[in-house]
């Protein structure tokens, strides 16, 4: 299986991408990473899906990983990243694609499918963010599950705006260990952390997974999900920061949807239950992505 690596140049900036199995005849699968601003590395598990007969495209959204990092916070908007994805589809010459996106990548997946439905065949939404107020409310509830009352301290620091010190970083890491990734970090995860685009993350989201202060703080796609017409697979974990309550709101809105809850996972089922993840996603996409 071939691997091709190159850059999309758009508006003077370069976006890195990699295509696995470009020679495969099936419907291409484009992988949308989360964050915003956490690059593709932890999603390299998805490369194995190319064995089912279709190209798999990984890319680093502008501002992180191997892509350019312009020092311009005004760039980092939902609309910008939707158009970057559309430019990548056109650049690769794909008439129709399947999309898989996790967390913020799931937000981007829905926004793209709503704006460009004619180019999308199937959707795989992995623990997607669909409503920031609901996400933050659920994250605040999850803080009560942290040991020794440390969620109370986390809230206190957030109320006081003290989110840049060592104590808050430690508490944020503790939250992540419970609700984002419950297995040891492998090299791909470490590479994703090292390649993080901090300006993108802080501009769009905020200081931690559990505290939104950026331009996504009032974002929601809930009232538009009924317009999603593509067959959709929803994947999430039992211990996920994208909680079952949030996933239920998605399931009752999208007409053609199936939800697979991973009982031993949090926010990273592809790393926590990788064999099952690849099987479930592969079966949904079908041979050659059809």
30 close to 113: Cβ distance less than 8 angstroms: no
Distance CA 61, CA 144 (A): 34
What are the pLDDT digits (tens) for 114-163? 999 999 999 999 999 999 999 999 999 999 999 998 999 999 998 888 88
Query: Where are any strands of DSSP class E within the chain?
Result: 3-10, 13-20, 29-32, 56-59, 97-102, 120-126, 232-237, 257-262
pLDDT of residue 208: 81
Cβ-in-10-Å burial (0-12, 13-18, 19+) of 152 comes to exposed
Of 240, 265, 266, 268, the catalytic one is 240
- Told to judge if 103 belongs to the known catalytic residues of this protein, a careful annotator would answer yes
pLDDT of residue 207: 86
Q: Which distant-in-sequence residues (6+ apart) come within 8 Å of 175 by Cβ?
A: 139, 142, 143, 146, 151, 154, 208, 209, 210, 241
Cβ-in-10-Å burial (0-12, 13-18, 19+) of 113 comes to buried
260 close to 282: Cβ distance less than 8 angstroms: no
Q: Which distant-in-sequence residues (6+ apart) come within 8 Å of 82 by Cβ?
A: 108, 111, 112, 115
Residue 169's pLDDT band (cuts 50, 70, 90): very high
Q: Which distant-in-sequence residues (6+ apart) come within 8 Å of 20 by Cβ?
A: 1, 2, 3, 47, 50, 55, 56, 57, 58
Give pTM, 2 decimals: 0.96
pLDDT of residue 12: 95
pLDDT of residue 249: 98
Of 67, 103, 107, 266, the catalytic one is 103
Q: Quick one: tokens of 56?
A: 């798999």
What are the pLDDT digits (tens) for 13-34? 999 999 999 999 999 999 999 9
Distance CA 174, CA 12 (A): 39
Q: What is the mean pLDDT of residues 91-103?
A: 98
Identify which of 256, 241, 212 has the alpha carbon closest to the alpha carbon of residue 122: 256
Could you tell me which residues are beta bridge partners of residue 99? Answer: 30, 123
275 pLDDT more than 90: yes
pLDDT of residue 102: 97
Distance CA 224, CA 222 (A): 5
Residue 164's pLDDT band (cuts 50, 70, 90): confident
pLDDT of residue 67: 98
Average pLDDT value over all residues in the chain: 96
- Told to judge if 267 belongs to the known catalytic residues of this protein, a careful annotator would answer yes
- Told to judge if 202 belongs to the known catalytic residues of this protein, a careful annotator would answer no
237 close to 261: Cβ distance less than 8 angstroms: yes
Count Cβ neighbours within 10 Å for each residue of 217-235 and write b for 16 or more, e otherwise.
Answer: eebbbeeebeebebbbbbb
Q: Quick one: tokens of 266?
A: 């949090």
277 pLDDT more than 90: yes
pLDDT of residue 45: 97
Residue 216's pLDDT band (cuts 50, 70, 90): very high
What are the pLDDT digits (tens) for 84-94? 999 999 999 99
């Amino acid at each position: 299986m071939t691997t091709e690596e190159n850059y999309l140049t758009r508006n003077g900036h370069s976006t890195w991408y990699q295509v696995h199995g470009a020679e495969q005849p099936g419907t291409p699968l484009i992988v949308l990473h989360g964050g915003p601003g956490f690059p593709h590395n932890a999603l390299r598990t998805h490369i194995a899906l190319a064995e089912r007969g279709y190209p798999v495209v990984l890319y680093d959204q502008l501002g992180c990983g191997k892509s350019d990092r312009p020092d311009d916070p005004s760039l980092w908007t939902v609309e910008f990243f939707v158009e970057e994805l559309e430019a990548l589809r056109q650049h690769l010459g794909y008439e129709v694609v399947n999309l898989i996106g996790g967390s913020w990548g799931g937000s981007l997946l829905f926004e793209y499918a709503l704006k460009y439905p004619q180019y999308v065949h199937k959707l795989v939404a992995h623990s997607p963010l669909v409503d920031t107020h609901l996400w933050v409310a659920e994250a605040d509830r999850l803080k009560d599950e942290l040991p020794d009352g440390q969620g109370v301290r986390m809230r206190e620091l957030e109320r006081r705006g003290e989110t840049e010190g060592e104590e808050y970083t430690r508490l944020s890491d503790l939250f992540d260990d419970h609700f984002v990734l419950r297995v040891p970090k492998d090299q791909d995860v470490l590479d994703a952390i090292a390649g993080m685009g901090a300006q993108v993350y802080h501009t769009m989201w905020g200081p931690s997974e559990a505290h939104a202060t950026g331009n996504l703080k009032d974002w929601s796609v809930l009232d538009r999900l009924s317009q999603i017409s593509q067959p959709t697979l929803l994947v999430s974990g039992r211990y996920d920061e994208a909680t079952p309550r949030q996933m239920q709101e998605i399931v009752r809105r999208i007409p053609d949807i199936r939800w697979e809850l991973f009982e031993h996972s949090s926010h990273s089922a592809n790393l926590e239950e990788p064999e099952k993840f690849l099987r479930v996603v592969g079966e949904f996409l079908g041979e050659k992505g059809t």
